[in-house]
A and B are shown apart, each in its own frame.
Chain A
Amino acid sequence: MTLWPRSSVAKKFLNAVTGIGLLLFVIVHLSENLLLLTGNPDDYNRWTHFLFSFGPLLTVIELGLAAFFLVHIGSALMVYWDKLKARPSGYSVYRSAGWTSRQTLSSQTMIYTGLVLLAFVIWHVITFRFGPHYETVIDGVPMRDLHKLVVEVFSNPVNVALYVAVMVFLGLHLRHGFWSALQSLGAYHPRWTPLWYTGGVLVALVLALGFIVIPVWVYYYL
């Protein structure tokens, strides 16, 4: 018996579980970032200070998140590698049959949009998590002024443009990823699956647009 995580079913199972975990994280992350739009810089800084107050627990959460990323990327690379091996010479003419096919630009580019997101996440963590440390004092409590850093980063139009572009890739990734994760877990239902499949577009649009609004808003209004 091959080691079960190497099996074709298990790889997709791991990819789906971590993908759903990362999706939940992205949803939470967007809701937190909406605090940047309240008009009061203290709201955002109070929240980040609350997160930093977790101390070692925050490190554990961050390492857990990193593990999710690693398993998600690792399993995806294995699927991609196996795909290359499974059809060494391609077709001279190939097209989707259409009809019930769920093959889309999104499904075909998962590995590429994923790698762009990986590069982005590394840059993103370096920029903010390990970026310049500004101090502020709210109600007599000294804390990190992340709001100032965000405004500083997004005062550069190049950064804003890059963020917006990457969020388009996030949307593309989620369009296939959302329903595909459920299918990989074996959750098929004649009534609900078409809803999930279409719902993927909504999930992709809401999250991508949500993340696009923030840097654009910061650039123009803060």
Chain B
Amino acid sequence: MSKKMTLHLRVWRQPNARTPGAFVTYTVKDVSPDMSLLELLDVLNEQLIKQGELPVEFDSDCREGICGTCGFLVNGVAHGPKRGRTACQQYVRDFKDGETVTLEPFRAKAFPVIKDLVVDRSAFDRIIAAGGYISVNTGSAPDANSIPIPKDIAEQAFDAAACIGCGACVAACPNASASLFVSAKIAHLALLPQGQPERIRRVLRMVEQMDREGFGDCSNHGECEAVCPKSISIKTIALMRREYLRALWSR
């Protein structure tokens, strides 16, 4: 068993969307270095509940980096220091003993803070509803191998489909743009045969909904790719732009 660690957590506390928030610093002593960041928050919350204080609210579900529920800024980087991982897969050992770690909610007009580290990401749901779907006839499922898809195309579509919709791209973007999320969904479906029927209106509607939600524009800083827990490339953003231009011509 490795040596126990102590961390100071500077956490954003905000009771609700209408009340202004502020940072509060807490100390969590003698924790295992192999504990995850979210487990550390669990320990802090146990501590707070015992003291009769309100626990720190944060989103979490699978705790294995595949669901996209968790996420906040850790020392100024969405999800935290280790790249290609969600917040639930950052560990106490990734920090220095006695370090003060700042935890701040994703900030964007389209992602209003609900409480503490929890933000409302339903803007993503409305973008998906606007065009992130395909039409499938009901009945028995077709054989998986009945539609031929070249290996490299399938790989590219899968790389884009790896998006878990966590919103880190928006949080890290200096412009609070949702381009990486939206383009990942567009690329995923535009590359596959099943996505062809709605291909043109999908890109127009999803981009329109993205703009309507109040996200910023993409200035190609590429920060989204660097924080994406699935390391989705900004080549999907270039693909979205090609799809958009193509759609304008063929409307």
User: Which of A87, A95, A179, A190 is B76 in contact with, Cβ under 8 Å?
Assistant: A95
Q: Let me know if A79 is at the binding interface, CB within 8 A.
A: yes
Task: Give A190 to B245 CA distance when docked, in angstroms.
Answer: 21
Q: Which residues of B, 55-90, contact A by the 8 Å Cβ criterion?
A: 73, 75-78, 83
Q: Which residues of B, 212-239, contact A by the 8 Å Cβ criterion?
A: 212, 214-223, 225-227, 234-235, 237-239
List of B residues within 8 angstroms of A86 by Cβ: 108-110, 175-177, 214-216
Q: Let me know if B91 is at the binding interface, CB within 8 A.
A: no
Is B225 in contact with A100, judged by CB distance below 8 angstroms?
yes
| Nearest CB in chain B to that of A108: its residue | B174
- Segment from B35-43, B143-151, B189-197, B203-211 that makes contact with A: B203-211
List of A residues within 8 angstroms of B212 by Cβ: 2
List of B residues within 8 angstroms of A89 by Cβ: 107
- Give chain A's interface residue range (CB within 8 Å of chain B): 35 or more
Q: Let me know if A186 is at the binding interface, CB within 8 A.
A: yes
Is B210 in contact with A94, judged by CB distance below 8 angstroms?
no
Is A184 in contact with B241, judged by CB distance below 8 angstroms?
yes
Task: Give A95 to B218 CA distance when docked, in angstroms.
Answer: 18
Chain B binding surface SS class: mixed
Q: Let me know if A134 is at the binding interface, CB within 8 A.
A: no
Task: Give A78 to B216 CA distance when docked, in angstroms.
Answer: 10
Task: Quote the shortest CB–CB distance from B15 to chain A (angstroms).
Answer: 16
Is B245 in contact with A96, judged by CB distance below 8 angstroms?
no
List of A residues within 8 angstroms of B78 by Cβ: 97
Is A94 in contact with B73, judged by CB distance below 8 angstroms?
yes
List of B residues within 8 angstroms of A184 by Cβ: 218, 220, 241
Instruction: Mark A68-90 against chain B: 1 for CB-CB distance below 8 A, else 0.
Output: 00000000001100110111111
User: Which of B76, B208, B219, B248 is A2 in contact with, Cβ under 8 Å?
Assistant: B208
List of A residues within 8 angstroms of B237 by Cβ: 183, 188
Task: Give A100 to B235 CA distance when docked, in angstroms.
Answer: 12
Is A93 in contact with B73, judged by CB distance below 8 angstroms?
yes
Q: Let me know if A113 is at the binding interface, CB within 8 A.
A: no
Is A91 in contact with B175, judged by CB distance below 8 angstroms?
no
Is B204 in contact with A1, judged by CB distance below 8 angstroms?
yes
Task: Give A11 to B210 CA distance when docked, in angstroms.
Answer: 14
With A7-B211, A94-B73: A83-B234 Cβ-Cβ less than 8 Å: no
Is B102 in contact with A92, judged by CB distance below 8 angstroms?
yes
With A8-B179, A83-B175, A188-B235: A95-B75 Cβ-Cβ less than 8 Å: yes
List of A residues within 8 angstroms of B208 by Cβ: 1-2, 7
Q: Let me know if A9 is at the binding interface, CB within 8 A.
A: yes
Instruction: Mark A187-201 against chain B: 1 for CB-CB distance below 8 A, else 0.
Output: 110100100000000
Is B235 in contact with A176, judged by CB distance below 8 angstroms?
no
Is B211 in contact with A186, judged by CB distance below 8 angstroms?
no
Is A9 in contact with B244, judged by CB distance below 8 angstroms?
yes
User: Which of A12, A78, A92, A98 is B226 in contact with, Cβ under 8 Å?
Assistant: A98
With A7-B211, A8-B179: A183-B238 Cβ-Cβ less than 8 Å: yes
| Nearest CB in chain A to that of B203: its residue | A9
Task: Quote the shortest CB–CB distance from B113 to chain A (angstroms).
Answer: 9
User: Which of A9, A83, A85, A102 is B240 in contact with, Cβ under 8 Å?
Assistant: A9
With A97-B77, A190-B235: A92-B241 Cβ-Cβ less than 8 Å: no
Is A88 in contact with B109, judged by CB distance below 8 angstroms?
yes
Task: Give A147 to B76 CA distance when docked, in angstroms.
Answer: 53
Is A93 in contact with B102, judged by CB distance below 8 angstroms?
yes
Q: Let me know if B172 is at the binding interface, CB within 8 A.
A: yes
Q: Let me know if A130 is at the binding interface, CB within 8 A.
A: no
Question: What are 18 A-B contacts with C-beta separation under 8 Å?
Answer: A8-B179, A8-B210, A8-B211, A12-B218, A12-B219, A13-B241, A78-B217, A79-B175, A83-B176, A86-B214, A86-B216, A87-B109, A89-B107, A91-B73, A92-B102, A97-B78, A101-B222, A107-B221
| Interface residue ranges, B against A (CB under 8 Å) | 23, 73, 75-78, 83, 102, 104, 107-110, 172, 174-177, 179, 204, 207-208, 210-212, 214-223, 225-227, 234-235, 237-242, 244-245, 248
| Interface residue ranges, A against B (CB under 8 Å) | 1-2, 4, 6-13, 78-79, 82-83, 85-103, 107-108, 110, 176, 179-180, 183-188, 190, 193
